[in-house]
Amino acid sequence: MKERQEAIKRYIERKGDVTLSELAGEFSDWSEMTIRRDLEFLEQRRFLIRTKRGARIMPTSYEVSVGMYGEREKRNCDLKQEIAAKAAALVETDISMYLDAGSTAMMLARELPDRNLIIITSAPNIGIEIVLKKTNPTVILLGGTLQRKTISITGLNVLDQLKTLNIDTAFVCASGYTDATGFSVGGQHECVLKRAVIASARRVIMMMDSTKLNSILPFTFARLQDIDTFITDSKAPESIKAAFRAAGVHVI
Protein backbone atom coordinates (compact mmCIF):
# COMPACT_ATOMS: atom_id res chain seq x y z
CA MET A 1 0.00 0.00 0.00
CA LYS A 2 1.23 3.45 -0.91
CA GLU A 3 2.01 6.10 1.61
CA ARG A 4 -0.76 8.29 0.27
CA GLN A 5 -3.27 5.51 0.66
CA GLU A 6 -2.14 4.87 4.22
CA ALA A 7 -2.53 8.55 4.94
CA ILE A 8 -6.01 8.65 3.47
CA LYS A 9 -6.94 5.59 5.46
CA ARG A 10 -5.66 7.12 8.69
CA TYR A 11 -7.43 10.37 7.94
CA ILE A 12 -10.73 8.60 7.39
CA GLU A 13 -10.23 6.43 10.45
CA ARG A 14 -9.88 9.54 12.55
CA LYS A 15 -12.75 11.44 10.99
CA GLY A 16 -15.11 8.52 10.65
CA ASP A 17 -16.75 9.83 7.56
CA VAL A 18 -15.48 12.23 4.92
CA THR A 19 -16.49 13.75 1.64
CA LEU A 20 -14.44 13.58 -1.48
CA SER A 21 -14.01 17.32 -1.59
CA GLU A 22 -12.78 17.29 1.99
CA LEU A 23 -10.18 14.73 1.03
CA ALA A 24 -9.29 16.63 -2.11
CA GLY A 25 -8.66 19.68 0.06
CA GLU A 26 -6.59 17.75 2.56
CA PHE A 27 -4.56 15.91 -0.06
CA SER A 28 -4.42 18.69 -2.60
CA ASP A 29 -1.19 17.39 -4.07
CA TRP A 30 -3.22 14.82 -5.91
CA SER A 31 -6.18 14.99 -8.19
CA GLU A 32 -9.65 14.03 -7.19
CA MET A 33 -9.46 11.10 -9.58
CA THR A 34 -6.44 9.64 -7.82
CA ILE A 35 -8.09 9.92 -4.44
CA ARG A 36 -11.17 8.34 -5.89
CA ARG A 37 -9.08 5.44 -7.10
CA ASP A 38 -7.45 5.15 -3.70
CA LEU A 39 -10.84 4.93 -2.07
CA GLU A 40 -11.77 2.16 -4.44
CA PHE A 41 -8.54 0.40 -3.55
CA LEU A 42 -9.18 0.77 0.16
CA GLU A 43 -12.75 -0.36 -0.22
CA GLN A 44 -11.65 -3.56 -1.90
CA ARG A 45 -9.41 -4.26 1.06
CA ARG A 46 -12.35 -3.65 3.37
CA PHE A 47 -10.81 -0.69 5.15
CA LEU A 48 -13.71 1.56 4.33
CA ILE A 49 -16.91 1.79 2.41
CA ARG A 50 -17.53 4.41 -0.18
CA THR A 51 -20.62 6.49 0.30
CA LYS A 52 -22.43 8.97 -1.85
CA ARG A 53 -19.87 11.70 -1.97
CA GLY A 54 -16.97 10.23 -0.11
CA ALA A 55 -16.24 7.37 2.20
CA ARG A 56 -16.70 6.04 5.68
CA ILE A 57 -14.55 3.91 7.88
CA MET A 58 -15.27 0.24 7.78
CA PRO A 59 -16.80 -0.44 11.11
CA THR A 60 -15.41 -3.44 12.88
CA SER A 61 -18.28 -5.77 13.37
CA TYR A 62 -19.49 -5.21 9.89
CA GLU A 63 -16.74 -7.55 8.87
CA VAL A 64 -17.91 -10.01 11.44
CA SER A 65 -21.49 -10.09 10.38
CA VAL A 66 -21.10 -9.72 6.65
CA GLY A 67 -17.54 -9.57 5.49
CA MET A 68 -15.98 -12.31 7.49
CA TYR A 69 -18.21 -15.27 6.95
CA GLY A 70 -18.65 -13.18 3.89
CA GLU A 71 -19.82 -14.72 0.70
CA ARG A 72 -20.94 -17.80 2.50
CA GLU A 73 -23.29 -15.85 4.68
CA LYS A 74 -24.60 -13.90 1.78
CA ARG A 75 -25.12 -16.93 -0.38
CA ASN A 76 -27.25 -18.86 2.04
CA CYS A 77 -28.81 -15.77 3.45
CA ASP A 78 -32.33 -16.79 2.52
CA LEU A 79 -31.99 -20.25 4.01
CA LYS A 80 -30.61 -18.87 7.23
CA GLN A 81 -33.27 -16.23 7.36
CA GLU A 82 -35.92 -18.90 7.05
CA ILE A 83 -34.35 -20.89 9.86
CA ALA A 84 -33.96 -17.84 12.06
CA ALA A 85 -37.61 -16.91 11.61
CA LYS A 86 -38.74 -20.40 12.59
CA ALA A 87 -36.43 -20.35 15.59
CA ALA A 88 -37.61 -16.94 16.76
CA ALA A 89 -41.15 -18.29 16.91
CA LEU A 90 -40.00 -20.80 19.53
CA VAL A 91 -38.59 -18.19 21.87
CA GLU A 92 -40.66 -17.77 25.00
CA THR A 93 -40.71 -14.75 27.26
CA ASP A 94 -38.97 -14.72 30.63
CA ILE A 95 -36.71 -17.66 29.98
CA SER A 96 -32.97 -17.93 29.86
CA MET A 97 -31.67 -19.09 26.53
CA TYR A 98 -28.29 -19.90 25.09
CA LEU A 99 -27.44 -18.54 21.68
CA ASP A 100 -24.58 -20.09 19.79
CA ALA A 101 -21.96 -18.29 17.70
CA GLY A 102 -22.21 -18.22 13.92
CA SER A 103 -24.07 -16.49 11.17
CA THR A 104 -27.33 -18.38 11.60
CA ALA A 105 -27.34 -17.44 15.27
CA MET A 106 -26.69 -13.84 14.28
CA MET A 107 -29.77 -13.88 12.10
CA LEU A 108 -31.76 -15.30 14.97
CA ALA A 109 -30.47 -12.51 17.18
CA ARG A 110 -31.92 -10.02 14.71
CA GLU A 111 -35.26 -11.82 14.57
CA LEU A 112 -35.57 -12.10 18.34
CA PRO A 113 -38.62 -10.47 19.92
CA ASP A 114 -37.79 -7.44 22.03
CA ARG A 115 -39.02 -8.99 25.25
CA ASN A 116 -37.81 -9.97 28.68
CA LEU A 117 -35.24 -12.66 28.08
CA ILE A 118 -31.89 -13.67 29.41
CA ILE A 119 -29.59 -14.48 26.56
CA ILE A 120 -26.37 -16.29 27.29
CA THR A 121 -23.91 -16.36 24.42
CA SER A 122 -20.29 -17.01 23.61
CA ALA A 123 -20.41 -14.63 20.66
CA PRO A 124 -19.63 -11.03 21.64
CA ASN A 125 -20.73 -9.71 18.26
CA ILE A 126 -24.14 -11.28 18.74
CA GLY A 127 -24.35 -9.92 22.26
CA ILE A 128 -23.59 -6.41 21.03
CA GLU A 129 -26.12 -6.74 18.23
CA ILE A 130 -28.85 -7.62 20.70
CA VAL A 131 -27.96 -5.00 23.26
CA LEU A 132 -27.91 -2.26 20.65
CA LYS A 133 -31.01 -3.15 18.72
CA LYS A 134 -33.30 -4.35 21.51
CA THR A 135 -34.14 -2.75 24.79
CA ASN A 136 -35.54 -5.57 26.89
CA PRO A 137 -33.31 -8.64 26.79
CA THR A 138 -30.45 -9.06 29.24
CA VAL A 139 -27.29 -10.37 27.62
CA ILE A 140 -24.74 -12.46 29.46
CA LEU A 141 -21.45 -12.95 27.70
CA LEU A 142 -19.24 -15.84 28.59
CA GLY A 143 -15.68 -14.85 29.41
CA GLY A 144 -12.46 -16.27 28.03
CA THR A 145 -10.17 -16.12 25.04
CA LEU A 146 -11.65 -14.47 21.97
CA GLN A 147 -11.07 -16.65 18.89
CA ARG A 148 -10.09 -14.80 15.74
CA LYS A 149 -11.80 -17.01 13.20
CA THR A 150 -15.15 -17.56 14.83
CA ILE A 151 -15.41 -14.42 16.99
CA SER A 152 -16.42 -16.61 19.85
CA ILE A 153 -15.24 -17.12 23.38
CA THR A 154 -13.48 -20.26 24.49
CA GLY A 155 -11.42 -21.08 27.51
CA LEU A 156 -10.98 -23.36 30.42
CA ASN A 157 -13.42 -21.63 32.70
CA VAL A 158 -16.35 -21.30 30.31
CA LEU A 159 -17.40 -24.63 31.74
CA ASP A 160 -17.27 -23.24 35.28
CA GLN A 161 -19.27 -20.24 34.16
CA LEU A 162 -21.91 -22.47 32.61
CA LYS A 163 -22.26 -24.32 35.89
CA THR A 164 -23.51 -21.16 37.55
CA LEU A 165 -26.02 -20.44 34.80
CA ASN A 166 -29.27 -22.23 34.15
CA ILE A 167 -30.19 -22.55 30.51
CA ASP A 168 -33.76 -23.25 29.61
CA THR A 169 -33.52 -23.41 25.83
CA ALA A 170 -30.27 -23.68 23.90
CA PHE A 171 -30.14 -22.68 20.23
CA VAL A 172 -27.11 -24.46 18.84
CA CYS A 173 -25.61 -24.52 15.34
CA ALA A 174 -23.59 -27.27 13.71
CA SER A 175 -21.33 -27.19 10.67
CA GLY A 176 -21.85 -30.78 9.64
CA TYR A 177 -24.10 -33.80 10.13
CA THR A 178 -24.18 -37.39 9.02
CA ASP A 179 -26.03 -40.30 10.59
CA ALA A 180 -22.76 -42.00 11.39
CA THR A 181 -20.91 -39.04 12.90
CA GLY A 182 -23.69 -36.92 14.39
CA PHE A 183 -23.39 -33.14 14.63
CA SER A 184 -19.87 -31.85 14.12
CA VAL A 185 -17.84 -28.64 14.03
CA GLY A 186 -14.36 -27.61 12.95
CA GLY A 187 -12.92 -26.41 16.23
CA GLN A 188 -12.08 -28.41 19.29
CA HIS A 189 -12.78 -25.57 21.70
CA GLU A 190 -16.21 -24.92 20.25
CA CYS A 191 -16.93 -28.59 20.46
CA VAL A 192 -16.28 -28.70 24.19
CA LEU A 193 -18.41 -25.63 24.77
CA LYS A 194 -21.35 -26.91 22.74
CA ARG A 195 -21.24 -30.22 24.57
CA ALA A 196 -21.40 -28.48 27.92
CA VAL A 197 -24.27 -26.29 26.81
CA ILE A 198 -26.24 -29.24 25.49
CA ALA A 199 -25.64 -31.16 28.69
CA SER A 200 -27.02 -28.40 30.86
CA ALA A 201 -29.93 -27.09 28.78
CA ARG A 202 -33.46 -28.28 29.44
CA ARG A 203 -34.32 -28.10 25.74
CA VAL A 204 -31.90 -28.18 22.81
CA ILE A 205 -32.81 -26.70 19.45
CA MET A 206 -30.41 -27.40 16.63
CA MET A 207 -30.30 -25.01 13.69
CA MET A 208 -28.67 -26.05 10.46
CA ASP A 209 -29.21 -25.13 6.85
CA SER A 210 -29.56 -27.84 4.27
CA THR A 211 -26.18 -27.17 2.65
CA LYS A 212 -24.48 -28.53 5.74
CA LEU A 213 -26.32 -31.80 5.88
CA ASN A 214 -24.26 -34.82 4.87
CA SER A 215 -20.93 -33.19 5.58
CA ILE A 216 -18.42 -34.20 8.22
CA LEU A 217 -16.21 -31.95 10.32
CA PRO A 218 -13.48 -33.05 12.70
CA PHE A 219 -15.26 -32.82 16.03
CA THR A 220 -18.59 -34.37 16.93
CA PHE A 221 -20.37 -32.66 19.79
CA ALA A 222 -23.84 -34.21 19.72
CA ARG A 223 -25.91 -37.13 18.53
CA LEU A 224 -29.49 -37.22 17.44
CA GLN A 225 -30.72 -38.30 20.84
CA ASP A 226 -29.15 -35.21 22.45
CA ILE A 227 -31.44 -32.75 20.73
CA ASP A 228 -35.12 -31.99 21.07
CA THR A 229 -35.87 -29.93 18.02
CA PHE A 230 -34.23 -29.58 14.64
CA ILE A 231 -34.77 -26.51 12.49
CA THR A 232 -33.71 -26.49 8.89
CA ASP A 233 -34.81 -24.86 5.65
CA SER A 234 -37.26 -25.99 3.04
CA LYS A 235 -34.54 -27.36 0.79
CA ALA A 236 -33.58 -30.09 3.24
CA PRO A 237 -34.30 -33.57 1.84
CA GLU A 238 -37.39 -35.27 3.22
CA SER A 239 -35.45 -38.47 3.88
CA ILE A 240 -33.28 -36.83 6.51
CA LYS A 241 -36.20 -35.08 8.12
CA ALA A 242 -38.06 -38.37 8.28
CA ALA A 243 -35.07 -40.09 9.88
CA PHE A 244 -34.86 -37.33 12.48
CA ARG A 245 -38.53 -37.66 13.26
CA ALA A 246 -38.16 -41.40 13.60
CA ALA A 247 -35.52 -40.75 16.23
CA GLY A 248 -38.00 -38.70 18.22
CA VAL A 249 -36.70 -35.28 17.20
CA HIS A 250 -39.20 -32.55 16.50
CA VAL A 251 -38.36 -31.29 13.00
CA ILE A 252 -39.48 -27.86 11.82
Residues of this chain that interact with DNA (CB under 7 A) are 2, 4, 19-21, 29-34, 36-37, 40, 50, 52-54
Residue 18's SS3 state is strand
Whether residue 65 contacts residue 106, with contact meaning beta carbons closer than 8 Å, is answered with: yes
Cα distances from 103 to residues 83, 84, 107, in angstroms, run 11, 10, 6
Among the listed ranges 154-162, 179-187, 196-204, 230-238, the one in contact with its own copies (CB under 8 A) is 154-162
Question: 7 vs 77, which CB is nearer to its own copies?
Answer: 77
- Alpha-carbon distance 190 to 38, whole Å? 39
Q: Sort 44 into a burial class: Cβ within 10 Å, 0-12 / 13-18 / 19+.
A: exposed
Whether residue 109 contacts residue 129, with contact meaning beta carbons closer than 8 Å, is answered with: yes
Q: Does 164 bind its own copies (CB under 8 A)?
A: yes
Residues 37-66 contacting its own copies, CB under 8 A: 49-52, 56-57, 59-66
Q: Does 112 bind its own copies (CB under 8 A)?
A: no
Q: Does 16 bind its own copies (CB under 8 A)?
A: yes
**Across 10-85, where does the E strand assignment appear?**
17-19, 48-51, 54-57
The one of DNA, its own copies, none whose footprint includes residue 141, by CB under 5 to 8 A per kind, is its own copies
The one of its own copies, DNA, none whose footprint includes residue 29, by CB under 5 to 8 A per kind, is DNA
Task: Please state the closest distance from residue 27 (CB atom) to DNA, in A.
Answer: 9
Question: 13 vs 32, which CB is nearer to DNA?
Answer: 32
The one of DNA, its own copies, none whose footprint includes residue 33, by CB under 5 to 8 A per kind, is DNA
Cα distances from 24 to residues 1, 7, 34, 124, in angstroms, run 19, 13, 9, 38
